Amino acid sequence: MKTTLEQWRMFKAVVEHGGYAQAAEAIHKSQSTISYGVHKLQEQLGVQLLEVEGRKAVLTEHGRLLLLRADQLLDQAEHLDKVANSLSRGVEPLVRVAIDTIYPTNVLFDIFEAFSQEFPDTRIDLEEFVLSGGNEMLAEDSIDILVTPQIPNGWHGEHIYRSRFKPVTTPDHPLQLLGRQVTYDDLAQHRQVVLRDSSKKRSSSGGWLGAHQRWTVTHTSTRYNIVRRGLGFAWLPENLIEQDLARGILKELPLEPDGTRYVDLYLIEAQRETAGPATRALARLLANGCG
């Protein structure tokens, strides 16, 4: 390389502050040092970057183009220093998280936004799963944080959220037109949409499974959209459907006895004692996010 980052920094300072003397004061260097550095930069490039008009240094056309590139270069160099500083303080470059799909997505996005403001250089690797799928990842040591409805043997889980599930259909579904309370025998005659356990062993399934007709899907959002199309009934998280219930797009089934179900979520830190600051911070955000 013909040039150095420091030369480009001095060149940028001269432009931003309107002259060599002003740049010298701004970046704490002597005026002669800056004047020599910019002159040497132009000499090495074989391109005139600045021309003096009166007492002010003004960009040439070539200088304007190269300043844009220099800005990007200096920003990247500054970012590189910040990343190195984070690593020297023990901040992890990556946090691996597995979260059951019933964790409220609006809360999750707020948490990720807050996390990124505190740890902008730490990447998040998110795995979404159903039922016991995350427990396999924990056993394989492929995640740092787990939010799960099923605590595996030998692990401690912190209770962080209780999700309430309501049995719902569209208002014009045949079950809504019976003119009476709905029984489980009635449900058995209609299509239920259920979640498949994302575990490779598929040790469990979600909800009541007494319907003769059944569609099995792998994600909560898929089940939600199928029910919203009027193609079946399902127990769906109340936080997901509250607006649809309020607008009359979906309607709760009048089950006898009451059909409300509850699922608890627990947070598990895979390496709690040795986790870095970013992992610990994200765990706390997830634990407190639904409070």
144-203 pLDDT tens trace = 999 999 999 989 999 999 999 999 999 999 999 999 999 999 999 999 999 988 887 755
Residues 73 and 102 in one domain: no
62-90 pLDDT tens trace = 999 999 999 888 888 887 776 676 566 67
Please report, for the domain that includes residue 16, its CATH number. Answer: 1.10.10.10
Determine the pLDDT at residue 19: 86
Residues 131 and 270 in one domain: yes
212-244 pLDDT tens trace = 789 999 888 999 999 999 999 999 999 999 999
> Of 88, 114, 136, which closes a domain?
88
How many domains does the chain divide into? 3
Could you tell me which of 171, 164, 185 has the C-alpha nearest to residue 253? Answer: 171
Phi and psi for 48 in degrees, rounded to 5?
-80, 125
Residues 27 and 170 in one domain: no
Residues 81 and 102 in one domain: no
Residues 204 and 231 in one domain: yes
Determine the pLDDT at residue 204: 52
Residues 151 and 228 in one domain: no
Residues 106 and 224 in one domain: no
Write out the residue range of the structural domain in which residue 152 sits.
94-159+265-289
Residues 43 and 74 in one domain: yes
Find the mean pLDDT for residues 88-96: 83
Cβ-proximal residues to 190 (8 Å cutoff; 6+ apart), any chain:
173, 174, 175, 211, 213, 232, 233
Cα separation, 186 vs 247, in Å, equals 26
Residues 169 and 254 in one domain: yes
Please report, for the domain that includes residue 115, its CATH number. Answer: 3.40.190.10
Residues 106 and 35 in one domain: no
Residues 196 and 216 in one domain: yes
| Three-state helix/strand/coil letters over the chain | CCCCHHHHHHHHHHHHHCCHHHHHHHHCCCHHHHHHHHHHHHHHHCCCCEEEECCEEEECHHHHHHHHHHHHHHHHHHHHHHHHHHHHCCCCCEEEEEEECCCCHHHHHHHHHHHHHHCCCCEEEEEEECCCHHHHHHHCCCCCEEEECCCCCCCCCEEEEEEEEEEEECCCCHHHHCCCCECHHHHCCCCEEEEECCCCCCCCECCCCCCCCEEEECCHHHHHHHHHCCCCEEEEEHHHHHHHHHHCCCEECCECCCCCEEEEEEEEECCCCCCCHHHHHHHHHHHHHCC
> Of 56, 88, 120, which closes a domain?
88
Residues 121 and 246 in one domain: no
Please report, for the domain that includes residue 254, its CATH number. Answer: 3.40.190.290
* Cα–Cα distance list, 40 to 59, 107, 226, 249 (Å): 16, 54, 68, 70
17-54 pLDDT tens trace = 888 888 899 999 999 999 999 999 999 999 999 887 77
